[in-house]
Amino acid sequence: MVETEGRSFSRCDWLRRSSGAGSCSELRISNQNNMMAGDESRRLQQALGVLRNILSTPETVTSLSSSLERQRTGSQAQEQHVTNNVSHSAVESELRERFRPANSQVASAGQADEGGQTGGSLRYQTQLHFGKWNSRPRKRAKTVYHDTFNKDIILLPGPSSTAVIKHRTKQQLHEHGHILNGFEFQKSWDHRTVTDQIRDAFGEKLSADVSSRMATGCLVPVRDILQDLATKIKHQKKCKFNINRSTVLDGAIRGLNEGHTIHVTLFSVRFSDDMGVPEEAVDLCGPRREFLRLLMEALPKSPMFEGEEGKLNLAFDSSEDRYFIAGRAIAVSLVHGGSPAGFLSPTLFSCLVDGPELAKPVLEDVADIDLHEKIKRVTEGKSLEDLLATTEPLDEYLANAGCLRPLRRLEDKNLLVDDILMFQVIHRVRGPFERFRDGLRTLGVLDKIQAHPESFRPLLCWSPTNLTADLLDSLFTIRLSTVGSNRRSAEEVVVPFWRDYLIDAEG
């Protein structure tokens, strides 16, 4: 109690008067709050003390750490299990959606399973409605045997052609009707029937002699081919041919050019010596054959050809008209009964038969000795460094020839050498080759060469052969005296003895 000016006040009255508001109940609540705050502070202090005691003991810390780790691991496993269940449920839903069975029983089973009821696992349902899990032996498809089959047939220039026809060449063959697509064969046909059917299918694309060759299955004798070509010669008209033995090639150029028709007529040769004195004779094929023989000997010695003797290729000469004369001279000599050329290289012969695009020149075809040695050193390189060193002297040549090729490995040398040989032997003389080939078309000789390459190969290319009596006899030209003279009678007696002697020497 508080006494003031003779009056006594309680604590509540004093507080009410001093504050101007409130009540005793409010004061009591405030006191209670203060007491609760004090209790919480004491509890907090006690908890801090207990925590300090716990953390100060190592065993207790280890135990708490293990307990927390077990709780965390269990929580992750539970989350993974839930995720797997969700994923498995999604996969099952996807499978049911994509492989939905057609009948109602399977659909109801699937719905029950999706609803949570145990209607069987997805594997059981799949096995039940889509077959067993174990693979069943498949029945082998029944083999159907046909009486026919189809193949493409390509008409090649000759049996010696080994190139694979593709791209542009195949397109050209299609345009000329040299390819039969999907030709139907009967399995019951024999060899002769197959040949006859192919021959009939190509029809006019095959000449009569090619057809006969297919029928007989052997090479057509070149003598028969040349005799057939000789029928194109006009016997009604004859022309004279003035030749000087020392300039046979010049005389051939005058008479065998494109403006004259001496190649399709019978012609008589009139020789003159170097002094201009004429040497005439009744032309019983003797002077004409001598002229053709001298011409075949002069051609390989001319600037138009180069290379090893007996294996000559075309050389680059500015006068391309001479190449036409050379081709025509070879054709005329063959058809008119003269000597064969016998000096063309296998590469040049292949160009005539199969075309220059399919030719495969070799190092021996390079006539330039210096270039030959440089190319040979390139082919003998054993490492990339050797290859780069051996190609350095050829840089200017390669640039002019358009054969520059990046060399990154040793195997690139083969491609480089092929490029050099194709340029040097084929592309460099492409113009002269075209003129030479045009000359060989005289009297249809080139077409026969392409149709019967193996028959003409011995006549145009040199090959080692055994010396026979007939071969040695063909090297000599017998010139008999005038008919009716005593010398002529004696000479006719001697000729058989000479030929008997050659036969005895051969035996």
pTM exceeding 0.85: no
Q: Provide the b/e sequence for 106-132 (b: ≥16 CB within 10 Å).
A: beebbeebeeeeeeeebeebbeebeee
Residue 298 is predicted with a pLDDT of 92
| Secondary structure string (H, E, C) spanning 426-495 | HHHHHHHHHHHHHHHCHHHHHHHHHHCHHHHHHHHECCCCCCCHHHHHHCCCCCCCCCCCHHHHHHHHHH
Residue 372 CB neighbours (<10 A): 15
Q: Phi first, then psi: give them for residue 409, nearest 5 degrees.
A: -150, 165
List, for the chain, all residue ranges whose pLDDT scores fall below the cut of 70: 1-37, 54-55, 74-89, 91, 95-143, 157-163, 191, 207-219, 258-263, 273-285, 318-320
Name which of 446, 456, 42, 492 is nearest 223 in CA terms. 456
Would you say 461 and 344 are in contact if contact means Cβ atoms under 8 Å apart? yes
Question: So what's the pLDDT on residue 369?
Answer: 92
Please tell me the total number of residues recorded for the chain in this structure. Answer: 507
Q: Supply the pLDDT for residue 53.
A: 74
What's the CATH code, domain 248-267+284-461? 3.90.1750
pLDDT at 19: 45
| Placement of tokens 């090297």 in the chain | 475
| Domains of the chain by residue range | 2-55, 148-218, 248-267+284-461, 465-507
**How many other CB atoms sit within 10 Å of the CB of residue 480?**
14
Q: What is the pLDDT of residue 104?
A: 46
Give pLDDT, residue 30.
58
